[in-house]
Amino acid sequence: MKLIAYNVRDDEIPFVKAWGEKNNVEVSYSIDTLNAETVKQAQGYDGISGLQTIPYDEALFSEMKEMGISMLALRNVGLDNVDLTAAKKAGIVVTNVPAYSPASIAEFAVTLALAVNRKVGYMYHQLHELGEFHFSPDFMGQLISNQTVGVVGTGRIGREAIRMFTGLGAKVIAYSQSHLDDSDLNFTYVDSLEELLDQADVIDLHIPGVPENEHLFDEKAFKHMKSSAILINTARGSIVDTQALICALEEGEIAGAGIDTLENESADLQNSRSTAQVTDSNVLKLAKMPNVIVTPHSAFHTDEAVMNMVNISFNNLKQQLTGGEVDNLAK
């Protein structure tokens, strides 16, 4: 058995090597993202592990079929960039890692909420943009324990976020298409997204980037929010209409945002070796706002998460290629 991983970052390499040695499997890696051209590096391999936000498209799966490679094992949760219909047509099995570390993403969401709430961006702006360093009335924040947090989506990550926010003393409400039947978490479901938007001081997104969620947060949604509310998105960029978000921030319709993922993320965003300068006008505009913290899709990034992403992805490949039952088939 020979396996190859694409778009491997420096922090993943020790875990990739360790898995190969532990399982006595030949494992190689490439720093390239995976597409119909770069897949040619996988000639002679049995399975591929991938991690990227750019598309896995029909051309890629057709090429994999021609090469006799029958499986793509993602090292992440999201499937919105995968043409699963094309994969099925080509006979390619696709798996993901549905839960590599929900707490890592939830913790980062809480971190962003606290930082925006406590005006950390204003402090950074004063020092790094104005060259000043002193107390300011602009730095007055709010206690999270005095606020209502609205969590959108109560899957694995959403549940961890609820646990953390309630631990900080916040009142938590949630909106989700499916409800938890039995839960020891202290929160209340609301009947509609609009109801959550009307009540919440902090809105925290933990839903997938599926077509029905595209631009769920648009101009209309922002007008529903309190002018004192903040938005936290560590889920998928497509959920939020970026132009509507920028307009809402500029017009004072909402008070701030913590954004870890944006629409139309480029391959360069996931390239840890990149030295390219930022040219995306939306990123630059958001970065200059003191009431916004924007980060490069890094909410997942803890040592526990990286280890689990690598190990589960390769375990999925091994299960499939040795005739075992595969745990994490993409649907």
Which structural domains are found in the chain, ordered by start? 2-100+302-321 (3.40.50.720), 102-294 (3.40.50.720)
Q: Which residue has the tokens 């107390």?
A: 135
To the query of whether residue 253 is one of the catalytic residues in this protein, the response is no
Average pLDDT estimate for 144-151: 98
By mean pLDDT, which of 181-185, 219-223, 299-303 is the weakest?
181-185
Of residues 63, 160, 253, 265, which has the active-site annotation? Answer: 265
Cβ proximity of 55 and 79 under 8 Å: no
Of residues 297, 301, 304, 325, which has the active-site annotation? Answer: 297
Cβ proximity of 158 and 151 under 8 Å: yes
Cβ proximity of 154 and 179 under 8 Å: yes
Least Cα distance to 46 among 87, 9, 92 occurs for 92
To the query of whether residue 236 is one of the catalytic residues in this protein, the response is yes
Of residues 75, 159, 236, 253, which has the active-site annotation? Answer: 236
pLDDT given at position 265: 85
Residue 271 scores a pLDDT above 90: no
| Rg of the chain taking only CA atoms, in angstroms | 21
CB burial of residue 145 (10 Å; 0-12, 13-18, 19+): exposed
Average pLDDT estimate for 278-289: 93
To the query of whether residue 265 is one of the catalytic residues in this protein, the response is yes
26-39 pLDDT, tens digit each: 999 999 999 999 99
Average pLDDT estimate for 259-286: 86
Residue 182 scores a pLDDT above 80: no
From its phi and psi, is residue 182 left (phi > 0), alpha (psi between -120 and 50) or beta?
beta
pLDDT given at position 277: 87
Average pLDDT estimate for 106-129: 97
- pTM here is 0.90
The span from the CA of 324 to the CA of 157, in Å, is: 28
201: its two tokens? 């001081």
Confidence of residue 267 (pLDDT cuts 50, 70, 90): confident
Cβ proximity of 269 and 296 under 8 Å: yes
224-254 pLDDT, tens digit each: 999 999 999 999 999 999 999 999 999 999 9
Residue 105 scores a pLDDT above 80: yes
pLDDT given at position 27: 98
Report percent pLDDT > 90 for the chain: 92
pLDDT given at position 118: 98
